[in-house]
């Protein structure tokens, strides 16, 4: 990727500096019906009429990718991943052609192009490929000729010319990569949310839309349940310094700018609060306090393909160790099955205990790096609400706790209020 980008002259578009190169991405919901596609066409037409150069990356209409995957499973319980890519990539080819037609209908010179035509070269496994490089030469030529380009997201071709897809939600990655290769002035991810909020407004009614958030904060929030866009695309944007905006495809409100952290960014300790439901805990008690025990347990969980999240270990007063893990409740049964044989090997006294009905609450903010007392304030807010904290884990810019699932919404509101997240900082 670096190689190709370096070849691109910075201001390749020799024209009025007021005019911009704009990359927009519309997700499946935004192109989910013929009316929605016409709505997108009107928005794109407005930018084209102002004279900007516009490349639009689109996903498949909502539900189409799932339907295509289901079709594959009708043919084979275990379809070839190469053929799956050939099949699912057609979802985006439908939506690009339809959007191009809608634009042409309103007099806009629009052209749809596939990932291959857009120069998206992929590498790695089918169904979850990575972008290896992007040759934007043809895209630039077509834009310079005055076309609005409608690019199929989610797809590219590998070195052998085989179609590959970029993992679910991969159109976000396509858009960021194309914005990077075109040195776009503006990159917008248009979606069915208005931007990134301090908390889920359905849970915390006074949640506030953030004007800006750093890549790292958005990645941490995504890792704890705030789904805005594909995480790999945010990592890619960070790596290549692509600043972008998440905003609604249904109104013209300003959204949230996602960028590198900078000194003028609203200086707050906490940027946002996120919750995850349906968590469960597994605790193994009476483990001999000896080297190799934790590895045995984790190897068993890994072999059972159980995704564990928080890990807490300690030594009880009897000198024996206990390890606790959290996971999604749907993995609990498999985790018990995977652990049973290992636990009796550890010691005849070792036991597995489980608990479901757990929620996880996380606060995220780069301000934590330079402020102390964040955890204390969070725990105080929960204590004042009478909410009991189970496990705790932290990273440089995140603190997560488990609480009873029935209390997770109260917990989110209490912590949100304690950090004054409803108010823009002075
Ligand atoms: N259509 C693909 C999916 O549903 C890619 C995307 O929507 O970004 O995962
Ligand atoms: Mg999508």
pLDDT bin (cut points 50, 70, 90) of residue 16 is low
Amino acid 156: pLDDT: 98
Within 304-390, where are the H helices? 332-346, 374-384
Cα 230 to averaged position of ligand 2 atoms, centre (Å): 9
- In the chain, what are the domain boundaries? 2-6+17-192, 273-418
Cα 63 to averaged position of ligand 2 atoms, centre (Å): 9
pLDDT bin (cut points 50, 70, 90) of residue 17 is low
Amino acid 221: pLDDT: 93
Q: Which residues contact 121 (CB under 8 A, 6 or more apart)?
A: 131, 132, 133, 134, 135, 156, 157, 158, 159
| CB 223, CB 231: distance < 8 Å | yes
Whether 212 shows a pLDDT value over 90: the answer reads: yes
According to DSSP, the residues that pair with 353 across neighbouring strands are 283
Dist CA 33 CA 26 (whole Å): 13
Cα 189 to averaged position of ligand 1 atoms, centre (Å): 13
Sheet holding 351-364, edge to edge: 311-315, 321-328, 272-287, 351-364, 398-404, 392-395
106: tokens are 């309103």
For the chain, give the percent of residues with pLDDT over 70: 96
Residues in the chain: 426
The answer to whether the annotation marks 202 as part of a ligand binding site is yes
Amino acid 51: pLDDT: 94
Cα 358 to averaged position of ligand 1 atoms, centre (Å): 30
Average pLDDT, the chain: 93
The answer to whether the annotation marks 215 as part of a ligand binding site is no
Whether 158 shows a pLDDT value over 60: the answer reads: yes
The residue whose CA has the least distance to atom 6 of ligand 1 is: 169
Ligand 1 closest atom vs CA 168: 9
Say whether 188 sits in a helix, a strand or coil: strand
Cβ(65) to ligand 1 under 6 A? yes
The string of pLDDT tens digits covering residues 218-242 is 999 998 888 889 999 999 999 999 9
Ligand 1 mutation pick, 58, 171, 233, max ligand atoms within 8 A of CB: 171
Ligand 1 mutation pick, 24, 28, 89, 156, max ligand atoms within 8 A of CB: 28
Amino acid 318: pLDDT: 87
Q: Which of 35-39, 80-84, 264-268, 318-322 has the lowest mean pLDDT?
A: 264-268
Whole-Å CA distances, 303 to 182, 329, 337, 338, 346: 43, 18, 11, 8, 17
Say whether 285 sits in a helix, a strand or coil: strand
Cα 59 to averaged position of ligand 2 atoms, centre (Å): 6
More confident site: 318 or 364 = 364
Average pLDDT value for residue range 39-43: 97
Looking up tokens 């609400």 gives 385
Phi-psi label, residue 169: left if phi above 0, alpha if psi -120 to 50, beta otherwise: left
For the chain, give the percent of residues with pLDDT over 90: 85
| CB 172, CB 228: distance < 8 Å | no
According to DSSP, the β-strands at 110-113 and 148-152 are: parallel
424: tokens are 């823009």
Say whether 86 sits in a helix, a strand or coil: helix
Q: Count CB atoms within 10 A of the CB of residue 358.
A: 22
Element (H, E) at 77: none
Say whether 169 sits in a helix, a strand or coil: coil
Dist CA 59 CA 426 (whole Å): 39
pTM, to two decimals: 0.90
Average pLDDT value for residue range 308-333: 92
Dist CA 382 CA 80 (whole Å): 50
Whether 10 shows a pLDDT value over 50: the answer reads: no
| CB 127, CB 82: distance < 8 Å | no
In CATH terms, the fold of domain 273-418 is VC0802-like (3.30.2130)
Cβ(168) to ligand 1 under 6 A? yes
Amino acid 255: pLDDT: 96
Tell me the ligand closest to 168's alpha carbon: 1
The string of pLDDT tens digits covering residues 242-263 is 999 999 999 999 999 999 999 8
| CB 309, CB 392: distance < 8 Å | no
Backbone angles phi, psi at 7, to 5 degrees: -75, -20
Amino acid 80: pLDDT: 97
209: tokens are 């839309």
Dist CA 290 CA 18 (whole Å): 68
| CB 171, CB 154: distance < 8 Å | yes
Tell me the ligand closest to 94's alpha carbon: 1
Tell me the ligand closest to 174's alpha carbon: 1
Ligand 1 mutation pick, 68, 94, 120, 170, max ligand atoms within 8 A of CB: 170
The residue whose CA has the least distance to atom 9 of ligand 1 is: 168
Tell me the ligand closest to 91's alpha carbon: 1
| CB 65, CB 87: distance < 8 Å | no
The string of pLDDT tens digits covering residues 384-393 is 999 999 999 9
CATH assignment of 2-6+17-192, among 3.40.50.150, 3.40.1160.10, 3.50.50.60, 3.30.70.3270: 3.40.1160.10
Q: Count CB atoms within 10 A of the CB of residue 167.
A: 17
Whether 11 shows a pLDDT value over 80: the answer reads: no
Cα 380 to averaged position of ligand 2 atoms, centre (Å): 39
Say whether 355 sits in a helix, a strand or coil: strand
């Amino acid at each position: 990727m670096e190689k190709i980008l370096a070849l691109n002259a910075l201001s390749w578009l020799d024209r009025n500096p007021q005019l911009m190169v704009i990359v927009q991405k519309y997700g499946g919901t935004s192109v989910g019906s013929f009316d929605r596609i016409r709505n997108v066409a009107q928005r794109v037409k407005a930018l084209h009429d102002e004279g900007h150069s516009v490349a639009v990356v689109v996903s498949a209409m909502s539900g189409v990718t799932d339907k295509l995957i289901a079709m594959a499973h009708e043919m084979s319980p275990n379809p070839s991943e190469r053929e799956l890519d050939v099949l699912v990539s057609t979802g985006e080819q439908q939506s690009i052609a339809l959007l191009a037609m809608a634009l042409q209908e309103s007099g806009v010179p629009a052209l749809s192009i596939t990932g291959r035509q857009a120069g998206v070269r992929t590498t790695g496994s089918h169904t979850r490929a990575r972008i290896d490089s992007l040759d934007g030469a043809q895209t630039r030529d077509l834009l310079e000729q005055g076309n609005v380009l409608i690019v199929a997201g989610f797809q590219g071709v590998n070195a052998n010319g085989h179609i590959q897809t970029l993992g679910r939600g991969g159109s976000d990655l396509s858009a960021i990569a194309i914005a990077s290769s075109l040195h776009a002035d503006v990159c917008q991810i248009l979606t069915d949310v208005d931007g990134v909020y301090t908390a889920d407004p359905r849970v915390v009614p006074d949640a506030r839309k953030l004007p800006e958030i750093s890549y790292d904060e958005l990645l941490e929030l995504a890792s704890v349940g705030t789904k805005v866009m594909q995480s790999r695309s945010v990592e890619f944007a960070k790596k290549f310094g692509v600043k972008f905006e998440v905003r609604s495809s249904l109104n013209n409100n300003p959204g949230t700018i996602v960028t590198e952290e900078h000194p003028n960014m609203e200086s707050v300790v906490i940027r946002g609060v996120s919750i995850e439901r349906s968590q469960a805990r597994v605790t193994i008690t009476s483990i001999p306090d000896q080297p190799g025990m934790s590895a045995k347990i984790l190897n068993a969980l890994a072999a059972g393909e159980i995704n564990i999240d928080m890990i807490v270990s300690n030594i009880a007063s009897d000198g024996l160790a206990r390890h606790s893990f959290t996971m999604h409740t749907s993995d609990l049964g498999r985790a018990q099955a995977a652990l049973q044989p290992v636990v009796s090997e550890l010691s005849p006294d070792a036991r597995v205990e489980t608990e479901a009905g757990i929620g996880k609450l996380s606060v995220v903010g780069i301000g934590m790096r330079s402020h102390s007392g964040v955890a204390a304030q969070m725990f105080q807010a929960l204590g004042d609400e009478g909410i009991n904290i189970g496990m705790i884990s932290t990273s440089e810019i995140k603190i997560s706790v488990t609480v009873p699932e029935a209390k997770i919404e109260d917990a989110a509101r209490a912590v949100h209020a304690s950090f004054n997240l409803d108010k823009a900082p002075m």
